[in-house]
Amino acid sequence: MKCALGILLCAAAFGQDVVPSNPAGTDLATLEQTVQKRHAEWEALARDMNDRMARILPCDPRALTAVAEVSRASEARLAALSDYLRAVSAKAFAETAEARNLLVTEERQAVESRLQRADAGQEQTAVDIQSDALAQSVKQRTSLEAPQKLLAQIAAMIHQRATSMEQQTGSAEAAVGLLRDLVPKFEARDAALREEFAAAESERARWNGYYAARKSRAQIECTITQIGASQSKGSKQ
Amino acid sequence: MRYSRSLLLVCFAAGLIGQTGRDAYRQAYDVWQQAQANLERDAGKGAAPQVAQADRSAAAAVAFQSTRMAYLKSSAESAVQRRRILQTPVTRSSPDLMPPAVANLAAAELQTVTRAIDKFAADKDRGIQQLRQSMEREKVALAALTDTIKTRQKAVAATSTASATLEQARGKAAAAFAEQTSQFSQTVAQMDAEGAAWTAYYSKLADAIQIANAPPSPAPAVEISTNTPPPAPRNASVSPVPLVRYVGTWSYPAVNGIFHGAQPESVALEIQEQNGHVNGTVDAKFKRSPGNANDPMVRFKFTGDITATPTQKFTLMTSDGAAGVIELIPGPAFNLLEVNFQTDPQPNKIRSGNFILMKK
């Protein structure tokens, strides 16, 4: 039953993987402060509810008012908590969507990185061919020795870059691997948040149920007191 | 006009990088390789054509390097943007919102009501029994509440654990990508250095080709002096940009052409240069816009000397005898040229145009 209620609340709140919207567009810190404030207000009333009621006669309207007051404070606290969790979830789900997009882009980028490494290889081959051809031409014209030295330096630079790019490709793939592991962790965090939201909503319903029962007891206390009073009046007459 | 030109170039560059990405610089690379084909092999017996080829190759190398750098820099910038998510701690719900006071309060209520029920258990009074039943209902509600509080406590703990695990993994991934970004920056710096080296190389190569010197072989000196061609004039003009960026046959691309103002349908531009003096012709047809009765054809000739600025400005004369000016601005790639012309007003004639042409 509890499980069914949880599932129902969960489905209602997060049905079809819909990201819940931040109701007021307020920042999380403000929403959290509101929850804490509402909690403090409720706790102050709830803690001494029974003591206060013990000092009030059963049919004194203040008895029912006291329960209603605590019930309202409880609902305000849990509604604030619900708003806060909804906002946290919305932000979290947006992060997860962004992480998924990042993974797709980085996977594509890793392929691009491999292609760029291949490009560097092609440049290496081309510059080696140029170097060989220039070495032949130097035999015909010694003035080409100066550009030959420069070309050798360029070839060395390209070789060095190709090596760096090889390492870079490896790093890119390793980073993508970490990202691939990260996305399920984002999803696990989201699933935990969904559970937390569902549990909070379930608790909200239970608190309301409890205060309804408490109100009902207060009414019964009044009723049986009145019956008792009328019976004792009747017996005196 | 200056603004519109900048806008045109920015749009073009953005289009080039955004639409084609790596293809754009690969294309420029292929053009460079074609431009320098067999240059080193022919350098030994080099003459004017090899000097000109070295100049063309230098321009193509610059175009390739700049296209690639633009792509890589844009790629690096977007990487920084999209990886920003890894730089900030992940969102988590506050565990402080599940204070123990909540559970304690519910437990205390449950205890109180349980004690009261027990107290009234033996009382047969109808009213008391009614009260006891309502307390039983309250007890059931409190028991269910206690269970849900426990469930939420577990859920909050699970969220904290999942968030902590995620945060740790995010930190690792962020560090890995930061390392990658740093390596990427080094590669870009290496490419920058290579670009400068290629420019120096082609300049030295062209100079070396022009120097008539004796080969190390035992060939007779007379033979060398007759066989060695005279030094070729290298980029004799004062233009800071190689002449190949202006000279040649250019046309407006059939698709995805870039323009500002009147939209060209076709443009053919031919430019020749001799001793720093330029002659050119433009034959353009513009698309008719609704309600505009202007003659879509524009034909003119222009002439002038190359100046020491990248943008070359010449006077023009249309086939109808109207005077005007034309500006030639080298595009973001070596095979692109921006044209901007204006003529004196004439009835039913298009008097200005701004578009980018591709070299044939």
Q: What are phi and psi of B205, to 5 degrees?
A: -65, -45
Domain boundary among B234, B265, B299: B234
Both B143 and B242 in one domain: the answer is no
Q: Are residues B132 and B228 in the same domain?
A: yes
Please tell me whether the interface predicted TM-score (ipTM) of this complex is above 0.90: no
Residue B9 lies in a domain: no
Same domain, B136 and B64: yes
Work out the minimum CA distance from B16 to partner chain A, whole angstroms.
17
3-state secondary structure of B351: coil
Measured between alpha carbons, how far is B360 from B358 in angstroms, rounded to an integer? 6
Query: How many residue pairs from chains A and B have C-beta atoms closer than 8 A?
Result: 258
Structure tokens given for B180: 């990658």
What amino acid occupies position A57? L
C-alpha distance from B204 to closest chain A C-alpha (Å): 5
- Please write the tens of the pLDDT for every residue from B251-276: 988 877 778 788 899 999 999 988 88
Residues of B with CB below 8 A from A44's CB? none
The answer to whether the predicted template modeling score (pTM) of the entire model surpasses 0.90 is no
Pick the last residue of a domain from B186, B209, B234.
B234
Residue at a domain's end among B193, B218, B234: B234
Task: Identify whether the C-beta of residue B125 lies closer than 8 Å to the C-beta of residue A190.
Answer: no
Inspect the interface and report whether the beta carbons of A185 and B94 lie closer than 8 Å. Answer: no
Task: With beta carbons under 8 A apart, name residues in chain B contacting A196.
Answer: 93, 152, 155-156, 158-159
Q: What is the CA radius of gyration of chain A?
A: 37
Residues B298 and B215 in one domain: no
**Are residues B79 and B162 both part of a single domain?**
yes
Residues comprising chain B, all counted:
360
Question: What CATH code is carried by the domain that includes residue B184?
Answer: 1.10.287
Residue B218 lies inside a defined structural domain of this protein: yes
Please write the tens of the pLDDT for every residue from B54-107: 999 999 999 999 899 888 888 888 999 999 999 999 999 999 898 888 999 999
Looking at the domain assignment, is residue B7 inside a domain?
Answer: no
Q: CB B166 to CB A185 under 8 A?
A: yes
Residue A127 Cα to chain centre, angstroms: 52
Å between B183 CA and nearest CA of chain A: 6
Give the nearest partner residue to B91 out of A91, A179, A210, using CB atoms: A91
Q: Is residue B18 part of a domain?
A: no
Burial class (CB in 10 A: 0-12, 13-18, 19+), A110: buried
Residues B225 and B263 in one domain: no
pLDDT digits (tens, 9 = 90+) for B101-142: 899 999 999 999 999 999 988 888 888 999 999 999 999 999
> What is the span of the domain harbouring residue B180?
23-234
In CATH terms, the fold of domain A26-189+197-230 is: Helix Hairpins (1.10.287)
- In a mutational test of the A interface, the residue from B204, B213, B227 whose CB has the highest number of chain A CBs within 10 Å is B204
Give the bridge partners for B273, in sequence order.
B278
pLDDT at B8 over 60: no
Same domain, B161 and B305: no
Phi/psi at A49 (5° precision): -60, -45
- Token reading at B1: 């006009």
Confidence of residue A232 (pLDDT cuts 50, 70, 90): low
DSSP run (H or E) holding B314: strand B312-318
